[in-house]
Copies of this chain bind each other. A is one copy, B any other.
Amino acid sequence: MNAYVFGYGPAGKERLIVIDLGVTFPDMDGTPGVDLIMADLAWLEQNADRIEAIFITHAHEDHIGALSHLWPKLRKKVYARKFTARIGALKLEEAGLPGDIITVVEPRPKVVEAGPFKVQFVPLSHSIPESSALVIDTPAGRIVHSGDFKLDGNPVVGEPFDPVLWHEIAREGDGVKILTCDSTNVFSPHPGRSEATLAEPLSKFIAEQKGMVVATTFASNVARLKTLAEAGRAAGRSVCLLGRAMKKMVTAAEETGVLLGMPGTIPVEAAVEVPRENLLLIVTGSQGERRAATAQLSRGRYLGLEMKAGDTFLFSSRVIPGNERGVIRIINNFSEMGVDVVDDHDGLYHVSGHANRPDLEAVHDLLRPKMLIPMHGEHRHLREHAKIGIAKGIPSAVAVNGTMLDLTGDVPQVAEYVEAGRTYLDGSVLIGALDGVVRDRMRMALNGLVLITVIIDEEDEPLGDAWVELMGLPETGRSNASLAARIEDELAEFLDRVTGKIIASDDRMDEALRRIARQVTMEEVGKKPEVVIVLSRLMAE
């Protein structure tokens, strides 16, 4: 859910650039029913007249996913490289926005001028084509904003990491003042491995299988898709890509010229006719997403295809922490079908797209920044990365969401904390995380709901009895009578004896009815439910 802002100028009047507008994904634990989570841009909206431009480092959802939702709040020029821009344009068009909002930028030496900022896109290897660091020159010095990266000299698709180029960037002018740097893999102690190391083990693995082989990886990992497809073809298998996101990525990569030599694939209509031992499916859903192809196949027939005993399912991916439950459910489903499931196998069939700890240290040494600001990661990752910087004598600071740092001196100083919450895409609407909407949904899920309707007539007398409906509560409890009827009885007793003074007050009626409903429910079923009360007052005509 990335959204970084750099500013330059007199305090409170800094000119601003925004880097990345990403999303993160909801879960039942904290955000049931939410579609996407993104940064709350209230502060940027208030200061929109100060924004010079928006830069997108690469086309992963956590960097570009919020563009179509949040751009209408900012309406500034967007810069990205061609593949990233293509993916962005598809998103904007889906949302009914013009795709040409995004200006395609060539990499360094091309410079984008945005107010006091001179910005270059510099290629870095990652698990998606064209991931770029931004080299940002300001009157106060040079910033290198790493984006997501790894040090891969042979990333199969896209540009290799080029140490000579980075050496040059580090030595120009006064060198690098600030490094804002990916921290995702700071806890991985060994140097990262190249995407190219996977070709041989994957080819060997697929060649050895007897039945249908289905492999999943991240849809945007175009290099992996190519490696897998080549392994499949080498084993004499027809290759079929399954899943909208994957096809979109491959098409965009081919159309923008970043993916060359991708083996031919067949459509699903043809795949169903191919003998299973001659078929390789490459499918979406490596994180267990319920609607993606992997989950669908684990539940049975999908688009005419079905896995069977003797088939093999390969996770050429790792589980992002927090997604374990969904993935485990899928593995057990496959186990019930008699399908053998193979995972990344200690890295034989998957490598990460992020720089590990020794790689990060190599980058520190190469760029020799005056200050290090860790980014991308949870607090524990940022803290660990800052510790490494400090141990090397590079002043470092952990900037939690909303922190505004003054980076003009010798050490990072907190200048201000800006209100920086979360915005939810809920259906088609953006709502604030603190609006209470999702909180109410979680409360209903945890506690169940009692709904009470009472009609009060023109003379402030209850008309008939209270009416109770339950949602998400057991029908009967301790007394073995209907819970709804038990609450209605208690409410009837209350309405029999309630005074005119209380009945005339909506608030006091609400409080009294709610208390009774909660008390009876607690006694009967041991839960304190949410209560909604509808008090209908008939008016004298």
Enumerate chain B residues within 8 angstroms of A467, measured Cβ to Cβ. Answer: 534, 536
Which residues of A346-385 are within 8 A (CB) of B?
Answer: 378-380, 382-383
CB distance from A290 to the nearest CB of B (A): 10
**Contact mask for chain A residues 425-468; partner B; CB cutoff 8 A; 1 contact, 0 none:** 01111010001011011101111110101010000000110010
User: Does B442 contact A380, Cβ atoms closer than 8 Å?
Assistant: no
Contacts of A335 in B (CB 8 A): 378-380, 382-383
Check B448–A445 contact: CB distance below 8 A: no
With the chains together, A437 CA to B379 CA distance in Å? 38
Partner of A33, one of B328, B379, B446, B476: B446
Contacts of A29 in B (CB 8 A): 27-29, 325
Asked if B336 and A379 sit within 8 Å, CB to CB, the answer is yes
A393 interface residue (CB < 8 Å to B): no
Instruction: Work out how many copies of this chain go into the complex.
Output: 2
A112 part of interface (Cβ distance < 8 Å): no
* B28–A427 touching, CB < 8 Å: no
Q: Is the CB of A341 within 8 A of B380?
A: yes
A72 on the B face (CB < 8 A): no
Determine if B380 and A451 form an interchain contact, defined as CB atoms under 8 angstroms apart.
no
A445 touches B530 (CB 8 A): no
Contact indicator A534/B463 (Cβ below 8 Å) = no
Given the complex of chains A and B, what is the CA–CA distance between A431 and B334 in angstroms? 29
* Cα-based distance from A453 to B431 in the complex (angstroms): 26
Complex CA distance for A382 and B332, rounded to whole angstroms: 10
Cβ 8 A contact of A32, one of B28, B332, B525: B28
**A428 — which chain B residues lie within 8 A by C-beta?**
477-478, 525-527
Closest Cβ of chain B to A245, distance in Å, is 20
Within 8 Å of chain B (Cβ to Cβ): is A502? no
- Residue of B whose beta carbon sits closest to that of A473: B437
CB neighbors of B among A314-341 (8 A): 321-322, 324-325, 328, 331-332, 334-336, 338, 341
A532 within 8 A of B: yes
A437 touches B448 (CB 8 A): yes
A400 CA to B429 CA, complexed, in Å: 44
The number of chain A residues with a CB under 8 A from chain B is 66
* B448 & A451 in contact (Cβ 8 Å cutoff): no
CB atoms of B451 and A441 under 8 A apart: no
Contacts of A98 in B (CB 8 A): none
Encode A29-53 as 1/0 by CB contact (under 8 A) with B.
Answer: 1101100000000000000000000
Q: Bits for A524-541, please: 1 = Cβ < 8 Å to B, else 0.
A: 111100101010101100
- Give the chain B neighbours of A453 by CB distance below 8 A: 453, 534, 536
Q: Does A474 contact B (CB under 8 A)?
A: yes
A475 to B435, CA, bound (A): 9
Contact with B along A513-529 (1 / 0, CB 8 A): 00000000000111100
Decide yes or no: A472 and B440 within 8 Å by CB, A28-B29, A453-B536 being known contacts.
yes
- State whether A464 and B527 are in contact (beta carbons under 8 Å apart), knowing that A380-B335, A437-B473 are contacts in the complex: no
Known A438-B472, A464-B536; judge A33-B447 contact (CB<8 A). yes
Q: Is A451 in contact with B532, judged by CB distance below 8 angstroms?
A: yes
Quote the shortest CB–CB distance from A309 to chain B (angstroms).
11
Given A444-B445, A446-B33, A332 and B530 contact (CB-CB distance below 8 Å): no
- In contact, A427 and B324 (Cβ under 8 angstroms): no
Which of chain B's residues have a CB closer than 8 A to the CB of A341? Answer: 380
A435 shortest CB reach to chain B, Å? 8
Smallest distance from the beta carbon of A484 to chain B beta carbons, Å?
Answer: 12
* Minimum C-beta distance from A506 to chain B (A): 13
Given known contacts A449-B449, A467-B536, A525 and B426 CB-to-CB distance under 8 angstroms: yes
* A:191-229 near B, CB below 8 Å: none
Asked if A469 is an interface residue, CB under 8 A from chain B, the answer is: yes
The CA-CA distance from A378 to B473 in the complex, in Å, is 30
Query: Which single residue of chain B is at the shortest CB-CB distance from A428?
Result: B526
**What are 17 A-B contacts defined by CB distance under 8 Å?**
A28-B28, A28-B30, A28-B442, A28-B445, A32-B446, A33-B445, A33-B447, A324-B324, A338-B383, A426-B525, A428-B525, A429-B477, A437-B472, A444-B472, A451-B451, A453-B534, A455-B538
